[in-house]
Chain A
């Protein structure tokens, strides 16, 4: 079987914040179209930093980084928005805009992409209904609970049907049943072709889903394990 297109490729990549020691060192990995990876490791190991690199919040300080087969290390600033629009991110801290409603937050990626509201209105409301917030579309984030915010953030990440989904502790603030639904949704989207990386501490969830695991420790990818975490 032909290997799918490369979605993410790091070659000897390193990341340092200003003059501090490297947060990530010598990371070499490839994620292909339709692949699913869990990213696990202790707090401070560099999971979030790795995700930030992928969603283009930081540039690597050394090595090379390819995103959708484009050299993102040297990509000009003007090329970044188009790459970012192909990524859906569920941020650990949600990063919702407090002055916008839940509906407007979810619609944000479509609006910045210049899509007419008539074209995304149904998708946005369907997603909000699916995550159980159909009756809270006009609520603003400060009035939502942690779990509700997380579900809005999830809907925002998925609304543009991205080629790559990144989720940083996406089940951290929801009940186990909702956590399981979210993970199953990721699996379904993955089956439809989206590549998925989920950073999580929840090893039970990792084992129950049974997808390959990338372990990270002290800024290095220490082990790439098979499905369910088996090395």
Chain B
């Protein structure tokens, strides 16, 4: 070996042994570039999707709660109506029915509505004061029934008919069926909207993943040439979409929660929660269910991006 070659070798050895600066603790950048300007619109779209998904989920939960409240109230109550040609006949019928009810196991409470209360129910159709003046208004007896009685109403119906032939028992079955049907329709509609939002998130993710692959064609090509598998590249894309999705989903969740709180306050101010409409109470399980919607949006976005990348890459060499 010549002197020059020996010197070169020594220099190279020294270079190899040179202290390494700034390497330990080095954080490497993502292999795919940050989305930059393209990331903001995607985040915004995912935020909108997440917002809609939370509202759809809130609708579903509200309809569920309302249906449950309505139907449980209907199932625990039955009504007995006592008609008659005169006030005396109605009065004797009511007494006979009340005797039967007091002797019936499963009747928790039985109260006759006053004539005034019953007349009030008719006033919207007959006008103020007209109902009591011109009609023998039937008596209404409200009964709170145990579930065991509910399942065996025919016996009670027969006993009431025997005690007071002008009395009739209404178990609200027709209302119950109609309300259940309406609730199921509402639930199906809310769930349908939720699925549509997920479908839209899917479609957006497919489009964005394809566009991202096209824009980063050179990077993907280099990754392949240094030995990256399709799964590796898809995982990188999925990670990026998950981060974008998470940002958007959280934005959408907070916006939707704010909207629900405002809507709840508005309903309360308008007295909407006093009667028929379900209340908007945020808390506990409700929050968890609502949070599931943006999580689903985020996961759908990330997984769809991964599958899109895998499919697209499988068509290349």
Q: Which residues of A are interface residues toward B (Cβ below 8 A)?
A: 55-59, 77-78, 80-82, 84-85, 89, 95, 97, 99-101, 103-104, 107-109, 111-114, 117, 121-122, 124-126, 129-130, 132, 134-135, 137-138, 156, 160, 181
Are A109 and B227 in contact, with the CB atoms below 8 A?
yes
* Mask of B264-290 contacts with A, CB within 8 angstroms, 1/0: 000000000000000000000000000
Bound complex: CA A111 to CA B227 (Å): 10
Q: Which B residues lie within 8 Å of A97 (CB)?
A: 31, 219, 222
Interface residues on B, range: 20 to 34
Give the 7 A-B CB pairs with smallest separation, nearest first.
A85-B227, A112-B228, A99-B33, A125-B20, A109-B226, A84-B227, A81-B229
Q: A81-B228, A84-B227 are in contact. Are A107 and B16 (CB under 8 A)?
A: no
* Mask of B207-241 contacts with A, CB within 8 angstroms, 1/0: 00000000000110111111111101000000000
Which of A59, A85, A95 is close to B222, meaning CB atoms less than 8 Å apart?
A95
Are A112 and B12 in contact, with the CB atoms below 8 A?
no
Q: Which residues of B are interface residues toward A (Cβ below 8 A)?
A: 8, 12, 15-16, 18, 20-24, 26, 28-29, 31, 33-34, 218-219, 221-230, 232, 314, 317
Q: A103-B26, A121-B24 are in contact. Are A108 and B229 (CB under 8 A)?
A: no
Which of A108, A117, A132, A135 is close to B226, meaning CB atoms less than 8 Å apart?
A108
Bound complex: CA A44 to CA B242 (Å): 45
Q: Closest chain A residue to B236 by CB distance?
A: A112
Bound complex: CA A124 to CA B218 (Å): 23
Cβ distance A85 to chain B, nearest Cβ, rounded Å: 4
Cβ distance A108 to chain B, nearest Cβ, rounded Å: 5
Which of A99, A124, A134, A160 is close to B29, meaning CB atoms less than 8 Å apart?
A99
Are A112 and B227 in contact, with the CB atoms below 8 A?
yes
Are A156 and B226 in contact, with the CB atoms below 8 A?
yes
Q: Closest chain A residue to B233 by CB distance?
A: A112
Q: Closest chain B residue to A125 by CB distance?
A: B20
**Which of B16, B24, B218, B222 has the most CB atoms of chain A within a 10 A radius of its CB?**
B222
| 18 further contact pairs, Cβ within 8 A, besides A125-B20, A137-B21 | A56-B317, A58-B317, A77-B230, A77-B317, A81-B227, A81-B229, A84-B226, A97-B222, A101-B29, A104-B28, A104-B29, A108-B222, A109-B226, A112-B223, A129-B18, A135-B21, A156-B226, A181-B8
Are B18 and A89 in contact, with the CB atoms below 8 A?
no
Q: Closest chain B residue to A156 by CB distance?
A: B226
Are B23 and A125 in contact, with the CB atoms below 8 A?
yes
Bound complex: CA A103 to CA B18 (Å): 16
20 contacts across the A-B interface (CB closer than 8 A): A57-B225, A57-B317, A58-B317, A77-B230, A81-B227, A82-B227, A84-B224, A84-B225, A85-B227, A99-B29, A100-B29, A101-B29, A103-B26, A108-B31, A108-B222, A112-B228, A121-B24, A130-B12, A156-B226, A160-B227
Bound complex: CA A122 to CA B230 (Å): 28
Cβ distance B213 to chain A, nearest Cβ, rounded Å: 15
**Which of B28, B29, B226, B229 has the most CB atoms of chain A within a 10 A radius of its CB?**
B226
Q: Which B residues lie within 8 Å of A89 (CB)?
A: 225
Cβ distance A164 to chain B, nearest Cβ, rounded Å: 13
Are A129 and B227 in contact, with the CB atoms below 8 A?
no
Bound complex: CA A137 to CA B28 (Å): 12
Which of A80, A107, A156 is close to B28, meaning CB atoms less than 8 Å apart?
A107
Are B28 and A122 in contact, with the CB atoms below 8 A?
no
Cβ distance B95 to chain A, nearest Cβ, rounded Å: 87
Are B18 and A134 in contact, with the CB atoms below 8 A?
yes
Q: Which B residues lie within 8 Å of A117 (CB)?
A: 26, 28
Bound complex: CA A126 to CA B29 (Å): 20
Bound complex: CA A56 to CA B8 (Å): 36
